[in-house]
Chains A and B, each alone.
Chain A
Amino acid sequence: MNDDSKQEPANFEFTREFLKTAQSHIKKYPKNRQSSAVMPLLDLAQRQNGGWIPKPAINYVANLLGMPSIRVLEVATFYTMYNLEPIGQFHVQVCTNLPCWLRGSNDVLNSCKKCLGIETGETTDDNLFTLSEVECLGACVNAPMMQINDNYYEDLTSETTENILFNLREGADVKTGSQIGRNSCEPINGLTSLQHMKSNLIVEDG
């Protein structure tokens, strides 16, 4: 956790809307067990603060849940999904674990670097993109993949990756999920098993 006091707000407080959501999380837990809500609350704080959690937010969440600040900080530093430093508007997280790597995650990562002009761990000058290399995000079946904010982008190639980043920068609509039109995580060439039941399956339109 580096000090970046320039961008650190002096105070943090949930907006009314966020506070309401926070309280609905807190209510899920029995009395004296409110600290169990620390993770959703940190997530809320991160969302409210543009993708990262400043120190005042750690203290705020700690006070809200009646727990020591250090306990909240332990949680926040343990999970890589919590960002403790300022971050771009789009957090591009490219998986480089084995299945994705075998399916070409190097190309995806290199395309990101080339397209954004930054290395991993860096943020573009316009504060739009932060690029990270992450461990398995659990979508190996559609490898290679990356996560940008709350969405997965799967079955990537250099071209589709660049396309996605370009569209995000332009504010255009971007297709999430598989980029080659497969439905969810079905096999690329259609069903390979349970074919006799095909007529019974409800197939959503992708």
Chain B
Amino acid sequence: MVNMIIDGKEVSVDPGMTVLQACEQIGIEIPRFCYHERLSVAGNCRMCLVQMEKSPKPIASCAMPVGEGMTIHTNTPEVEAMRKSVMEFLLLNHPLDCPICDQGGECDLQDQSIAYGIDHSRYQERKRSVTDKHMGPLISTTMTRCIHCTRCVRFATEIAGVPDLGLLGRGENAEITTYLEKALNSELSGNVIDLCPVGALTSKPYAFIARPWELKSIETIDVMDAIGSNIRVDVRGAEVLRVLPILNEDINEEWISDKTRFACDALSYQRLDRPYIRKNGRLKEATWNEAFNTIAATLKKVNGPDIAALAGDLADCESMIALKMLIQNLGSENIDCRQDCARLDPTVRSSYLFNSALAGIDQTDAILLIGCNPRWEAAVLNARIRKRYLESGIPIGVIGEKSDLNYEIMHLGDDVNVLHDILAKKGRFSKILRSASRPMIIIGQGALARGDGHAILGLTRKITELYKIVDNNRGWNGFNMLHTAASRVGGLDLGFVPGPNCRDTEAILDGASQGSIKLVYLLGADEINMERLGNAFVIYQGHHGDTGANRADVILPGAAYTEKNATYVNTEGRVQRAYQAVFPPGEAKEDWRIIRALSEIIGKKLEFDSLAQVRAALVEANPNFLNVGTMSPAAWNKFGIDGEITDMTLSSHIKNFYMTDPISRASITMANCSKAFANNHFEKITNNG
């Protein structure tokens, strides 16, 4: 420990800390613009100057490491004068356009000028102006406001791994630019908006929409991928206006992907705001009673075993447990939450979890990616892998399509035989896995959502055991399933899977097309091949008019993730709660309530009337639902089979990062992104059903 004196107080801090961090530790706030905990130190804004005894000049506290016996002053008149001078220089060329600036009210420069600004300008010269730069469909630029802190440059280079931003020129002519005016091609680009301490980089879709003091903020979680990023939803009246990240070191640190941040405009488009019934081939508006009665009349004509239900990627646990119980009451166990037909094994929990936890990436020393593209499937997780890569240069092997993941990879091929080779202790990555002390496998749904998924799962398990990737003695489990659907782990945990000898997704779709399944209840399931539903009577419960609603015979309008108090389980198996930020539009209702109401009308009343009772049912189905916010470790067991693998190519199942679910497909912003980044060989999302 290093002993030093800050403002007369003796403190001892870790060596390697900076003076600024030492001050923070004892509660002294140092003003800053360029310094950011998660970025490298630049030391160029000079706002954090403090006095150090025996130093003739003030020091930049963000860049100065602590030293034994240092004496620091942060509250002297000299420091105050220095900060005022720095602020005066920063404001020389900064326009006085706060009234028309989107950053107004949440601007670091504005806030700190309250404390250190002077009330007049001594600057007689012409202020400089800078041409705005094109940074794609998400980031709006007003570069005259830029104070050259270079946070955005450092974020793009270090975190996002797309070194396209730079500070060109020098002195008064310095400008932040993207290389050759290229849009910032990163799935995390929106984070530069949060990082920008002034109004130079602001959100394009949110431009001139609202002021921060008009907004109500609700802290909840995201469902655009299976990471469960912690977010803050800002609403005004009945409308969600923006989504911002909140800090969770275990999950998203303080980043969110562009889909999480910008798809929220879709919460106002293509909404199912009232029930619909198909009459003479066309969907007609209806009342709840009419919709329920139509369903009740149809159910009378259908036998229990001819009923099936599928849960989609955004379904919450409460609605899934309610639907599961309803279908069981109707005498069927043809239910599945794996609409992509992924061959996940619901009986062994550790087989479908990201067992090492996302934070486990910070400790691993070798990663093998199988059939997944983390950049598109979980952009925040990819940033974590990149962080680990930059820290220690760990080897990262990829079995699947070759793509740019923003870190160096060893592309081992897209062939299943590579897995066989590794199991036979052959090949270069075999050596790496053998010598690694905390190796990790990340397997994506692309490897499982296929006919021979069971066999690939079995093969991967054998590799996991052979190389001690799971080691109970050391408490390390590096077998990691990467999901892309926010609902998947929750669905598997609560058992939204076919009962013994009952139909899974594949069999349900086969049955429906052959006519043996006569009624299919889609709980927000849109990513199936609707043609395979044949002549079945289709009930679609969901919030967006997507393929499912298009095919439905009855539409029950549900609530999107910002409109309900709901439970989701992320890919790690971490139970998290989403909180209601706004009310569902029009006639739409919270999903479990719809199912509860329907159950009464069809005479199969479910035994719960409140959210607490539904959650009690969840806990009954799986006690893990008690552990909100934490991960419950899962025991290792046998899973997968020794089957024949028929298709030898492995690839990710996401082809377009910006359009993966009913919400992002309805988003205009996401459509613009798809267009802007079309050079990424994005294709239409493929249906696996």
Contact = CB atoms under 8 A, between A and B. Distances in A.
Interface string B392-404: 0000000000000
B163 A70 contact: yes
Interface string B162-191: 011111111000000111000000000000
A111 interface: no
Contacts of B167: 74
B407 to A, nearest CB: 14
Contacts, number: 27
A77 interface: yes
A68 interface: yes
B164 A70 contact: yes
A73 interface: yes
Nearest to B179: A70
A71 B168 contact: no
A68 B168 contact: no
B168 A1 contact: yes
B164 A68 contact: yes
Contacts of A68: 157, 163-164, 179
A74 B164 contact: no
Interface in A62-99: 68-71, 73-74, 77-78
Nearest to A79: B170
A71 B166 CA distance: 7
A118 to B, nearest CB: 22
Q: What class of interface size applies to chain A in its complex with B? A: under 10
Contacts of B178: 70
A69 B167 CA distance: 12
Contacts of A73: 166, 168, 179
Contacts of B166: 70-71, 73-74
B308 to A, nearest CB: 52
Interface in B170-229: 170, 177-179
Nearest to A74: B166
A70 B181 CA distance: 11
Interface in A94-143: none
Contact of B169 (A69, A70, A71, A78): A78
Contacts of B169: 77-78
Nearest to B156: A70
Contacts of B164: 68, 70
B297 to A, nearest CB: 65
B302 to A, nearest CB: 62
Contacts of B165: 70
B181 to A, nearest CB: 11
Contacts of A78: 168-170
Contacts of B168: 1, 73-74, 77-78
A20 B157 CA distance: 31
A60 to B, nearest CB: 15
A77 B174 CA distance: 9
Nearest to A55: B180
B148 to A, nearest CB: 12
B179 A77 contact: no
A187 B170 CA distance: 36
Interface in B570-600: none
Contacts of B179: 68-70, 73
Nearest to B170: A78
A202 B596 CA distance: 105
Contacts of A69: 179
A122 to B, nearest CB: 19
Nearest to B171: A78
A134 to B, nearest CB: 14
A77 B163 contact: no
Most buried by B among A1, A68, A69, A70: A70
A55 to B, nearest CB: 8
B446 to A, nearest CB: 30
A189 to B, nearest CB: 39
Closest 10 pairs (CB-CB, A-B)? A68-B163, A70-B166, A70-B179, A77-B168, A74-B166, A77-B169, A78-B170, A69-B179, A70-B163, A70-B164
8 contacts: A68-B164, A70-B178, A71-B166, A73-B179, A74-B168, A77-B168, A77-B170, A78-B170
Interface of B: 157, 163-170, 177-179
Given A77-B168, A78-B170, 8 more contacts: A68-B163, A70-B163, A70-B165, A70-B166, A71-B166, A74-B167, A77-B169, A78-B169
